Amino acid sequence: MRPWIPHVTVATVIEDQGRFLLVEELKGGRAVLNQPAGHLEPDESLIEAAIRETVEETGYDVELTGVVGIYLYTAPSNGITYQRVCFAGRPLHHDPERKLDHGIIGPQWLTRDEIIAQKARWRSELLLQCIDDYLEHPLHSLSLIRN
């Protein structure tokens, strides 16, 4: 029996005038949609990881404004358990010439309705859950995150 090891990830919900910044990426040979998200790296804070992943996957520098929530998710595709810390933020600057991470097709700005219409392309159900939590619940202070 192999040891159970949760994977710590971060994600961002970046909204601008009713549209949300998503990442179109290749996963398992198909194009899927997700929030900018990725794994926490050694010697990195959760906030640093969220900002880094967003710029690496979208080319957008962002300012984080709060914590949306903390999620525990076991992926049905591989059985791996992920602890996701999801942040809210706003876009500051976009560098369209920035080279994005391997497997990333590019950023997309979509409304909630446009996201729902593409449910078959979601990387996971956390995509809409994070957006809905952002829309329906007050944000938690970034001071909740301690290094």
SS3 string, the chain, reads CCCCCCEEEEEEEEEECCEEEEEEEEECCEEEEECCEEECCCCCCHHHHHHHHHHHHHCEEEEEEEEEEEEEEECCCCCCEEEEEEEEEEEEEECCCCCCCCCEEEEEEECHHHHHHCHHHECCCHHHHHHHHHHHCCCECHHHCCC
Q: What's 72's domain CATH number? A: 3.90.79.10
Cα 127 from Cα 33, distance rounded (Å): 8
In the predicted structure, residue 8 carries a pLDDT above the cut 90 = yes
Express each pLDDT in 97-110 by its tens digit.
999 999 999 999 99
pLDDT band at 76 (very low <50, low <70, confident <90, very high): confident
The answer to whether the Cα torsion of 63, 104, 7, 43 is positive or negative is: negative
Express each pLDDT in 12-30 by its tens digit.
999 999 999 999 999 888 9
Per-residue pLDDT, 145: 93
Within a domain: 18: yes
pLDDT band at 33 (very low <50, low <70, confident <90, very high): very high
Within a domain: 100: yes
Within a domain: 144: no
Strands 60-74, 37-39: pairing is: unpaired
Within a domain: 147: no
Within a domain: 49: yes
Within a domain: 145: no
Number of domains, the chain: 1
Q: Which residues contact 86 (CB under 8 A, 6 or more apart)?
A: 10, 11, 12, 13, 35, 67, 68, 69, 70, 71, 126, 130, 133, 134
Cα 72 from Cα 23, distance rounded (Å): 21
Spatial CA neighbour of 106 closest among 12, 33, 18: 33
Which domain, by its residues, includes 20?
Answer: 7-138
